[in-house]
Chain A
């Protein structure tokens, strides 16, 4: 049981480039989330999904897109990378909504630098 896996671990992008951050969970969780973590700012929700085919915006969705074609996978797409998107990105999953007593399980993160 690998839990939540993310690839790549590190990436350097040039301004204007595009990339996809991959996230996979093997716990059959319905809910999946993408967060970004910036120093002194905590974790901000970018997008989340309540099941395959259903996604919704979080607090900071601008500049990102997501899709959820399967229960296991929840990729995050950056179309035109900007320096403001330099951050550490975490994918998480939970069986039921985060508002319940159901733990969110986090992946190890992807450190992205845009220069």
Chain B
């Protein structure tokens, strides 16, 4: 049973465009929502994270939008660059948990 559902599975965007990846969850106890970025042949690395007490968090070209009532959150990459080409994972965790529940991943390709 997938605790966090992620879409799309793959995404192709032109350089300079906006990349949008969506995630949804059911467990209302989740209170921590990170996004990880993984380049080919490497392990995932934390990109940006949000708590549900805010609806948006921005770091440079990367923004998380969070909709608590819809139980959805999304990653927006503005002015997408070829160097952003990677697999992106959303994840979630709840208080007291010792682990993260990951989405299935989105492979992003940014075309020059």
Q: List residues of A whose CB falls within 8 A of some B CB.
A: 4, 31, 33, 35, 40-45, 48, 50, 56, 58, 90, 92, 97-101, 103-109
Q: Which residues of B contact A99 (CB under 8 A)?
A: 31-32, 93-98, 100
Interchain pairs with CB closer than 8 A, number? 67
Interface 1/0s, chain B 41-79, versus A by CB < 8 A? 111111001010000000000000000000000000000
18 further contact pairs, Cβ within 8 A, besides A42-B102, A42-B105: A33-B99, A40-B104, A42-B104, A44-B102, A45-B100, A48-B98, A98-B93, A98-B99, A98-B100, A99-B93, A99-B98, A101-B51, A103-B34, A103-B46, A104-B100, A106-B43, A107-B43, A109-B42
16 A–B contacts from the bound complex (CB under 8 Å):
A4-B43, A35-B102, A40-B105, A48-B98, A50-B98, A97-B96, A97-B97, A97-B98, A98-B93, A99-B97, A99-B100, A101-B49, A103-B46, A106-B43, A108-B42, A108-B43
B80 is an interface residue with CB less than 8 A from chain A: no
C-alpha gap A36/B84 in the complex (Å): 24
Taking residues whose C-beta sits less than 8 angstroms from the other chain, chain B's interface range is 20 to 34
CB distance B95 to A109 under 8 Å? no
CB distance B32 to A42 under 8 Å? no
CB distance B99 to A48 under 8 Å? yes
> Least Cβ distance of B83 to chain A in Å?
19
C-alpha gap A96/B97 in the complex (Å): 11
**Could you say which of B2, B51, B100 has the most chain A C-beta atoms within 10 Å of its C-beta?**
B100
> Least Cβ distance of B15 to chain A in Å?
26
CB distance A106 to B44 under 8 Å? yes
C-alpha gap A23/B74 in the complex (Å): 32
CB distance B99 to A108 under 8 Å? no
> Least Cβ distance of B21 to chain A in Å?
13
> Least Cβ distance of A55 to chain B in Å?
11
Interface 1/0s, chain B 12-43, versus A by CB < 8 A? 00000000000000000001101000000111
Q: Which residues of A contact B6 (CB under 8 A)?
A: 42
Partner of A92, one of B43, B95, B103, B104: B43
